[in-house]
Amino acid sequence: MVAKGSLSRNLITGGCSFTAHLSEDTLSWANQLEQKYDNVINTAEMASGNQIICDRICYELSKPEVTSDNTMVAVMWSSPFRKEFLFTYDDPDYNEIQHLFPRDKPGFSNYFLTDKPHEKHPTSNWLIVGGGYGIWNYEVTPLDARLKNYFRDIYNPEEAYVSTLRAMITVQSLCQAKNIPLLNMCWQSIFHDLGSKDFEAEESFWKKDVVSTTGWLYTRLRTAFSNRERNKGLLTKQELLSDYHNKRIDKLYPNTKHWFELIDWGTWHFYENDLIQKGGLQEFSHYECKTKSEDLKLHPSTEVQRKWMKRIMKVIEEKYGMEHVQENMA
C-alpha cells in the first residue's frame, strides 16, 4: 500500500466531473489530492449542478464533528445552466426512462444525502441534466417531451444564474457561521454571459446543448472569443475588457445584483490574464497549458489537473495555513 500523508485539516471538496473521479486514466485535481492525503473528503459527482454541489457540501458541514479547528472546504462550481428533476418511483414515466437509458449512463443519480455512497432513496430519485448524464445524448421520448417543455416555456437564464448565486451564498454563509475556511473556484468563467444568448438562437441548442455545452468554454470560443472581429484582431484589449465588464451577469441580469454583491470575493481563486476575468480550470487549461479549443469539449487531462492541483495547494498553504503532516507508514 502506498503511504499517504495527511493535511493539518480535513479537506472537503465539491464539484462536478471536473472534481469527481473521472476514470483510471484521467484523474481530477481532487482525485490527485485524495491519492496524496488520507483526509480529503471528495463529495463531487459527475454531471452535478450547483444546487447538488451545495447540498453535498452542506451535508458534510452539518456533521457535529466538523469544526473550525479540523476542517476546510474547497469547491469548484459548475455550469449555472444545469438543473435536477425529482421523479417519484410511481411516476409512470420513471420506469420507461430508466429502461431506455444505457446501463453505463443511467441518467438518474442517487442524489440522496447519506454517508452510504449511492444509497437509493426509498421513494424517489433525481434526474441529472448535465454532463455525461445529459439526456440530449439519447432518444428518450417521455423525458424529451418534459424537458423540451421546461426549457422552451419555463427556463430562464437569469433565474439559473440567481439559483447558482444562492447556492454559493448558502455554502459561504454556513462556512462563516462555523468559522470554517472556504476556497471557491469555478470550472470556467461563470460570472460573465459570453455567448450563451447567441447560442440559444441556434437550432442545435434544443437538441444537444441546452444545459451542458452552453456552459463550456469550447462554445464560448466559438462565439464570444472566436467571432470574426476577434479572429481578424479588430478588437483592442480595452474593447475586449469592456465587453467582459458589460457582460458580467450583475450588469446583464438585475435579479443577480443583490446576490452578486453578497459574495465574499476574498474566498475565491481565479485564473486571469489580459483577456480573462474570473476564469477557472478551463481557461487555465486553454491559455496556460495550451490545450486546443477543440479539446476543451473534453475534460482536462490528468496533467492539466495536476498543475491545477499544485496551484490550489499553494493557495491553501499560503493563504489558509494548511500544513502537511508526517506521512502515515501503513
With beta carbons less than 8 A apart as the criterion, state whether 219 and 190 touch.
no
For residue 82 the three cell numbers come to 444545469
- For 224, half-sphere exposure in the C-beta direction (CA atoms, 13 angstrom radius) is 24
Which residue's entry shows cell 453578497?
262
With beta carbons less than 8 A apart as the criterion, state whether 104 and 85 touch.
no
With beta carbons less than 8 A apart as the criterion, state whether 162 and 256 touch.
yes
Q: What sign does the dihedral 76-79-80-82 (CA atoms) show? A: negative
Helix, strand, coil fractions of the chain, as percent rounded to 5: 45, 15, 40
* Per-residue pLDDT tens digits for 273-289: 877 889 999 889 988 99
What DSSP string runs through 296-319?
GGSPPPHHHHHHHHHHHHHHHHHH
Q: So what's the pLDDT on residue 26?
A: 87
Largest CA distance in the chain: 60
- For 221, half-sphere exposure in the C-beta direction (CA atoms, 13 angstrom radius) is 15
Q: So what's the pLDDT on residue 89?
A: 84
pLDDT averages per 10-residue partition of the chain, 330 residues: 79 94 84 92 89 94 94 95 83 72 54 67 77 52 69 82 97 97 94 58 36 43 46 56 74 94 98 86 90 77 95 94 64
Helix residue ranges, H only, the chain: 29-36, 50-61, 92-100, 141-153, 157-178, 196-200, 204-207, 217-222, 228-231, 237-246, 249-252, 257-262, 281-283, 302-320
For residue 224 the three cell numbers come to 464570444
Q: So what's the pLDDT on residue 109?
A: 59
β-strand partners of 130: none
Q: So what's the pLDDT on residue 68?
A: 93
* Per-residue pLDDT tens digits for 48-75: 889 999 999 999 999 999 999 999 999 9
- What residues have CB less than 8 Å from 237, skipping those under 6 apart? 274, 275
Q: What is the DSSP letter of 192?
A: B
